[in-house]
Amino acid sequence: MTLYQIDAFADKLFSGNPAAVMPLDKWIDEALMQNLAMENNLAETVFFVPKGEDFDIRWFTPAAEINLCGHATLASAYVLFNILGYKKPTITFHSKSGPLIITKEKDIISMDFPSWKPERLDDHPDDLEKILGVKEIVGVYKHRDLLVELNDERDVRKADPDFTLIKKTGYKIIITAPGANASGRLERPDALANVDFVSRFFAPTYGVDEDSVTGSAHSQLIPFWSEKLGKTKMEALQLSKRGGHLIVEQKGDRVQMGGKCVFYMKGEISFP
Does 44 participate in catalysis according to the annotation?
yes
Catalytic residue among 44, 149, 153, 210: 44
| Distance in angstroms (rounded) separating the CA atoms of residues 33 and 236 | 32
How far, CA to CA in Å, does 235 sit from each of 141, 166, 190? 21, 28, 14
d(C-alpha 255, C-alpha 252), whole Å? 7
Express the helix, strand and coil content of the chain in percent, nearest 5 each: 25, 40, 35
Q: What are phi and psi of 60, to 5 degrees?
A: -130, 130
Q: What one-character-per-residue DSSP string does 179-201 give?
A: -HHHH-----SSGGGG-SEEEEE
Q: Which of 56, 57, 60, 58 is nearest to 34 (CA)?
A: 60
Q: Which residues pair with 54 in a beta bridge?
A: 51
Residues 6+ apart with CB under 8 A from 109: 74, 77, 78, 81, 102, 103, 258, 259, 260, 261
Cα(first)–Cα(last) distance of the chain, in Å? 13
Identify which of 61, 144, 60 has the alpha carbon closest to the alpha carbon of residue 95. 60
Which are the catalytic amino acids?
Answer: 44
